[in-house]
Structure 1
Amino acid sequence: MTRSSTAQLQDMFAQSTAVLARPSPQTFERFERRGGLPQALLYVVVAALVSAVIAAIFAPFHREVTVLGQFFGRLVSIPLQFFAFTGLVYFIGRSLFRGTGTYPEVAYSFALFYVPLSIVGTVIGIVPILGWLVSFVVLIAMVYFGYLAVQSSMNLRDTVSSVVTLVLSGLAYLVVGLLIGGMIARLFLR
């Protein structure tokens, strides 16, 4: 990793800390233009790599998927799902509700909360019973921060347009995730 990438990751981590500590559309507004697609991709790949390594380590406990399957499946699916979801947020917010944000603002804003929350969910999620509870709490947190990020990055301040944008994007995300997961699983099933 280059020195510049390391500095970018440190900046994004500090911005993530601020967003998580002071959740509001105004906090997201402070950071939405400090990065773009390359920075969002770098940050999401870090989350994918953490998830892929942890999944590969614990793959022997899941007989139906190989170590390589877990590793490459997550390394590919997490960024694809993230960018599909944020692309849908942008498209739906702009098309249905005349949101004025840009796609790089949406991707970067979402990366700021998605990456740390997904890493926490992955790391704690390896504990059997605690994992389910943490996954649920992380999901609720992601929905809440997603709501704030939609308001900020798409400039949709009213509740209805923000919620509808997030819900429709979430439904499409599930479909994309199932399709991608199914294709990857077929490649790596034992």
Structure 2
Amino acid sequence: MSQTTEFKATVSDMFGQSTAVIARPSPATFERFERRGGLRQALIYVALAAAVSAMIAAIFAPFHEDVTVLGQLITRLILIPAQFLIFTGAVYLAGKNLFRGTGTYSEVAYTFALFFVPLSILGTLIGIIPLLGWLVAAVISLVMIFFGYLAVQSSMNLRDQGSAIITLVLAGVAHWIVGTLVARVLMALFAGNPG
């Protein structure tokens, strides 16, 4: 496929591709879809997950005294896509510069969106259940790491396990540092005034 190919994947296509990736997790499954969409489609798909998460969080914000409804909406609509871009950007940069990965950023973003979106929506839905929030977050995080490992192998063409793992770890550190800073700024702007 040439660099000038226009991607045509719709949200419906991406849901189907997500289902296939989750049902048959392997680098080969990711390979089937990595060039069917690009950065634009990945961002639209992630924005959908952010909107769903924001709506769910806003509905349940009144039950949490420390965050306002508007705060939930705005922070999730900004934070989820921003953290996705930070993480996938770090995967791409680490994979390319440290391990000579041959994938493109569009392939990385699209591949990661295919598992990130359904898992983040599932995590938000289940996470609203009292006492399950922390457990769900831990399980979803582990599942995302597994799918991320497969996606790195596919999107960056890093078949060596060590290279794929180091790429994920470095991307995770970058995501944590930058994501934490962005989250703190947003929470300071939109946190409710308890008391």
Could you state the TM-score of these two structures normalised by the residue count of structure 1?
0.95
Report the Cα offset of residue 157 of structure 1: 0.1
Counterparts in 2 of 1:2-17, with a 5 A limit?
A: 8-17=10-19
**In the alignment, what sits opposite 1:61?**
63
Opposite residue 50 of structure 2, the aligned amino acid is A
Percent same amino acid among aligned pairs?
A: 66
The answer to whether the 8 A contact 2:86-2:179 is kept is no
**In the alignment, what sits opposite 1:4?**
none
Opposite residue 179 of structure 1, the aligned amino acid is L
- Which among 69, 82, 93 is matched to residue 91 of structure 1? 93
Report the Cα offset of residue 132 of structure 1: 2.3
1:142 match: secondary structure: helix
Opposite residue 87 of structure 2, the aligned amino acid is F
Opposite residue 142 of structure 1, the aligned amino acid is M
User: Structure 2 CA distance, aligned partners of 1:127 and 1:136?
Assistant: 14
Higher helix share: 1
User: Structure 2 CA distance, aligned partners of 1:94 and 1:172?
Assistant: 15
Cα deviation, 1:52-88, whole Å, max 9, x if unaligned, reads: 0111111112212111011100000000000110000
Let me know the Cα RMSD of the aligned residues: 0.9
Structure 1 unaligned blocks of 5 or more: 1-6
Report the Cα offset of residue 182 of structure 1: 0.7
User: Structure 2 CA distance, aligned partners of 1:139 and 1:88?
Assistant: 18
Structure 2 unaligned blocks of 5 or more: 1-8
- Which among 71, 76, 79 is matched to residue 77 of structure 1? 79
- Which among 172, 176, 179 is matched to residue 181 of structure 2? 179
User: Structure 1 CA distance, aligned partners of 2:128 and 2:64?
Assistant: 12
User: Structure 1 CA distance, aligned partners of 2:120 and 2:82?
Assistant: 15
User: Structure 1 CA distance, aligned partners of 2:66 and 2:142?
Assistant: 29
1:40 match: secondary structure: helix
Report the Cα offset of residue 173 of structure 1: 0.6
**In the alignment, what sits opposite 1:141?**
143
- Which contiguous aligned blocks of 4+ residues in structure 1 show a shift greater than 3 angstroms? none
- Which among 157, 160, 165 is matched to residue 159 of structure 2? 157
User: Structure 2 CA distance, aligned partners of 1:105 and 1:166?
Assistant: 16
Number of equivalenced pairs? 184
User: Structure 2 CA distance, aligned partners of 1:127 and 1:138?
Assistant: 15
- Which among 121, 125, 128 is matched to residue 127 of structure 2? 125
Report the Cα offset of residue 184 of structure 1: 0.5
